[in-house]
Amino acid sequence: MDTYCVRCGAPTGEGDHAACRARVAYDPPRYCPGCARRMVVQVSPSGWSARCSAHGEVAGNAQELV
């Protein structure tokens, strides 16, 4: 489930995503790590949740998704 970068949507095996990782430490992810679809992100007082139309909801620590 971490084929794609949740920040830029590019394959994690290509390029350098260090800046993306730093960014998702405090921003919700934007792309599904499994299919790179753009996710619907909802920010709440307790955190955030992101939903992929194919894989469902992703929530929690965004750093673990990169």
Residue 8 in the binding site for Zn ion (CB under 5 A): yes
Closest by CA position to 64, among listed 25, 19, 36: 25
Q: Are 31 and 53 in contact (CB under 8 A)?
A: no
CB of 13 to Zn ion, least distance (A): 11
Alpha-carbon gap, residue 17 to 19, rounded angstroms: 5
Interface segment toward Zn ion; rule CB under 5 A; list 2-10, 22-30, 40-48, 57-65:
2-10
Interface segment toward Zn ion; rule CB under 5 A; list 23-31, 44-52, 57-65:
44-52
Residue 30 in the binding site for Zn ion (CB under 5 A): no
Q: Are 18 and 47 in contact (CB under 8 A)?
A: no
Question: Under rule CB under 5 A, how many of the chain's residues touch Zn ion?
Answer: 12
